[in-house]
Amino acid sequence: MRLSILSLVFLAAIPVMASANAPMDDLQTELKKANKALADERYSLAFTEYKRHAEKNGLAQFSLGLIEQNGWGRSPNAVAACKWFGRAAHKGIPAAQQFFGNCLAQGIGSPVDGPAAIRWYKAAADRGLVSAACDAGELLIAGKIVVQDVAQGLALCTGAAQAESTPAMMNLAALYSEGGVVAQDLALARFWYTEAAERHVLEAQFRLGLMLTEGLGGEADVLKARFWLEHAAAEGYAPAYLPTAILYANAPLDPATGALSPEDLAKIYMWNSAAKAITQDPAQLAEIARIEALIFKVMPPQWKPDLDQRVAAHLAKFNETQHAPL
């Protein structure tokens, strides 16, 4: 279980007053034993303790929903999770209101109800969970389960993004990048990817790096592109490995030697090797093999053991999906 994620969700769940009758401190105090059990991965005890307080405690209801949703100590049960999220939503827990909106939008445990989903998203946003406003906005933009209103949907997502919601920033960037219902605007896509990248969203750093490489939405800037792509790669965003290696392979040659600098050469080898370790795509593997063949012609062979060790440590630290700086 990733308790860091759970902690963030709990923070998102905190309104000024968690219910009509009990301040947040009181709700948290009576859940100390349950929270400790969950932190210790004693899931059965945690479930029992949360359920003991679930009649009146919205945070207990929300926690039970998380347990059911994530399958902590049991098989995941989306229907049961949505029932608990619904109860916690009525107790004024913002994250539960957002999650219950998801349940209604997807028809989990009850028929799809777009208008009700939007009401719950807006309730969560009104209590400070600004990303939920963009959830409502996405439904309005899509117009599949509610009457379509692209202008209002964009306004909701833009307001959430301006209020520092990185999911809203990513949603806007994708909408403007892809085009369709929302007119394509690559400059706005690049703007919102930049905003999210500066707030440490790895996918945004990757996509911004590609836009900077290709000159989409503005002037090309290879140095900035490499900065963002390598930042994402160094934090374990695997799709950034190969583009980073390629940019280093195309770095300016050292004027004194007419060759790549030793630092750039090592970077090419490491990022290319990291990409080789995690991809099964034939086209990427062909490009990786081409780069590898070129590197072996110029890289001193005595470098390889140390560089291989650093790549292995990088991949191991992040379990090949979330990866530390090489």
CA distance 35 to 6: 10
pLDDT confidence of residue 23: 61
pLDDT confidence of residue 20: 43
Residue 139 contacts residue 146 (beta carbons within 8 Å):
yes
pLDDT in tens, 151-190: 999 999 999 999 999 999 999 999 999 999 999 999 999 9
pLDDT confidence of residue 29: 87
Residue 146 contacts residue 115 (beta carbons within 8 Å):
yes
**DSSP track, 146-209:** S---HHHHHHHHHHHHHTT-HHHHHHHHHHHHH-SSSPP-HHHHHHHHHHHHTTT-HHHHHHHH
pLDDT confidence of residue 7: 55
Angle formed by the axes of helices 202-214 and 166-178, to 10°?
30
pLDDT confidence of residue 319: 73
Whole-structure pTM value: 0.89
Angle formed by the axes of helices 262-278 and 222-234, to 10°?
50
Q: Where are the alpha helices (DSSP H) in the chain?
A: 3-12, 24-29, 32-39, 43-52, 58-70, 78-90, 94-106, 114-126, 131-142, 150-162, 166-178, 186-197, 202-214, 222-234, 241-249, 262-278, 282-298, 304-317
Instruction: Name the nearest CA neighbour of 156 among 175, 130, 137.
Output: 137
Q: Which residues in the chain come in under a pLDDT of 70?
A: 1-25, 320-326
pLDDT confidence of residue 127: 96
